[in-house]
């Protein structure tokens, strides 16, 4: 397992590996270097035949996955899956192409484009960074003045990714969303994530509260199709209940599952490790 931070989730995976008799080696990518100018097969001696990519850093994990796959090492999740899921725009494109219902979404690249997009979507709207997690830098745009303030602040950061403006309609919904963990071809657990007080975002990292959610046939079918649209693996599919039905708005390829375990009682680390064992046999 490659991990640049050992959180509750990684500790749970380590315990599950021990319980399942898996010799799990932990590699901290902050302490290594990889020679990519010679025979990459030598990397198998360092990483073994299969690697669980649990890097918190999206770009670090993505580049490691690319290197390992060139060395013919299986990675969970694969490079292409991580690439798509780590970028909200790429995720939306994959979902929309597969016919998965998503919120109305526009992308713009300048202040003028953003204002035109907001004029079409209407207020309130939500603006998000294309790369990011835990609800950071997501803003609720209520009018033109707040839109201009957000654009100006982004321009001052001088980050090229923040000059890509990912804009979605604000979906009228209950103060919660739904997270479903998909492992391979199985939806294993689902929870509602409720917004904390004085915040409209539902991220558990921001104080959101997880409670059990029943996995209906409709929800299960939707999340499995969504997971398949981005390439499959171990994925957290985030959905919203809209007046028109359930929408998929995000998929996470390095899913945190502490809240989901607590809310549902499902032994998610054990299920992930069982999936890893199955992948080792293929």
**What DSSP line would sit under 10-64, residue for residue?**
HHHHHHHHHHTT--PPPB-GGG-----SS-GGGHHHHH-SEEEB--SSHHHHHHH
How many angstroms separate the most distant Cα atoms in the chain? Answer: 58
Q: What is the pLDDT of residues 120-174, one digit of tens each?
A: 999 999 999 999 876 788 899 999 999 999 999 888 888 899 999 999 999 988 8
Nearest Cα to Cα of residue 104 among 240, 278, 253, 264? 240
Contact 141, 123 (CB under 8 A): yes
**pTM over cut 0.85:** yes
Q: Which residues contact 77 (CB under 8 A, 6 or more apart)?
A: 53, 65, 85, 231, 233, 234, 235, 253, 254
What is the C-alpha separation between 129 and 166, in angstroms, rounded? 6
Asked if the domains 105-169 and 173-281 are classified in one and the same CATH topology, the answer is: no
Quote the strand ranges of 66-185, DSSP E.
Answer: 74-76, 105-108, 125-128, 139-141, 165-169, 176-183
Q: Are 264 and 176 in contact (CB under 8 A)?
A: no
The Cα 240–Cα 200 span in angstroms is 13
CATH number for 105-169: choose from 3.40.120.10, 3.30.1490.20, 2.40.180.10, 3.40.50.2300: 3.30.1490.20
Q: What is the mean pLDDT of the chain?
A: 92
Task: Give the DSSP letter string of 152-177.
Answer: HHHHHHT-GGGGSEEEEEPPP--SEE
**For residue 48, which of 30, 29, 75, 28 has the smallest C-alpha distance?**
75
Give the domain 173-281 fold: D-amino Acid Aminotransferase; Chain A, domain 1 (3.30.470)
What is the distance between the alpha carbons of residues 159 and 156, in angstroms, rounded to a whole number?
8
As a whole number of Å, the end-to-end CA separation of the chain is 18
Q: Are 255 and 234 in contact (CB under 8 A)?
A: yes
Give the pLDDT confidence of 33-78 residue by residue, as tens digits: 988 888 787 777 778 789 999 999 999 999 999 999 999 899 999 9
C-alpha span between 279 and 178 (Å, rounded): 28
Which DSSP helix (H) or strand (E) runs through 242?
strand 234-242
Q: Are 182 and 234 in contact (CB under 8 A)?
A: yes
Domain 8-84: give its CATH architecture. Answer: 3-Layer(aba) Sandwich (3.40)
Structure confidence at residue 202 (pLDDT): 54
pLDDT beyond 90 at 209: no
The structural domains of the chain, with segments of one domain joined by +, span 8-84, 105-169, 173-281
């Amino acid at each position: 397992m490659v991990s640049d931070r050992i959180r509750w989730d990684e500790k749970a995976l380590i315990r599950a590996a021990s319980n399942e008799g898996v010799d799990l080696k932990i590699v901290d990518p902050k302490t290594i270097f990889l020679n990519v100018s010679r025979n990459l097969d030598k990397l198998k001696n360092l990483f073994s035949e299969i690697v669980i990519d649990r890097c918190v850093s999206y770009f670090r994990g993505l580049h490691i996955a690319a290197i390992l796959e060139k060395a013919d090492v299986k990675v969970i999740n694969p490079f292409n899956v991580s690439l798509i899921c780590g970028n909200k725009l790429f995720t939306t494109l994959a979902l929309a192409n597969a016919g998965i219902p998503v919120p109305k979404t526009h992308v713009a690249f300048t202040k003028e484009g953003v204002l035109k997009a907001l004029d079409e979507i209407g207020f309130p709207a939500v603006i998000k960074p294309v790369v990011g997690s835990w609800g950071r830098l997501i803003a609720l745009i209520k009018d033109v003045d707040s839109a201009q303030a957000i654009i100006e602040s982004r321009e001052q950061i001088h980050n090229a990714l923040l000059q890509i403006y990912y804009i979605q309609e604000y979906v009228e919904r209950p103060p919660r969303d739904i997270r479903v963990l998909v492992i391979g071809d199985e939806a294993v657990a689902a929870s509602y994530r409720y917004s904390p007080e004085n915040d409209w975002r539902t991220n558990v990292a921001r104080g959101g509260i997880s409670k059990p959610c029943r996995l209906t046939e409709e929800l299960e079918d939707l999340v499995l199709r969504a997971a398949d649209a981005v390439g499959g693996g171990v994925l957290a599919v985030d959905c919203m209940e809209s007046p028109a039905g359930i929408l998929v708005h995000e998929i996470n390829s390095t899913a945190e599952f502490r809240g989901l375990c607590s809310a549902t009682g499902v032994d998610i680390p054990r299920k992930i490790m069982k999936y890893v064992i199955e992948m080792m046999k293929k």
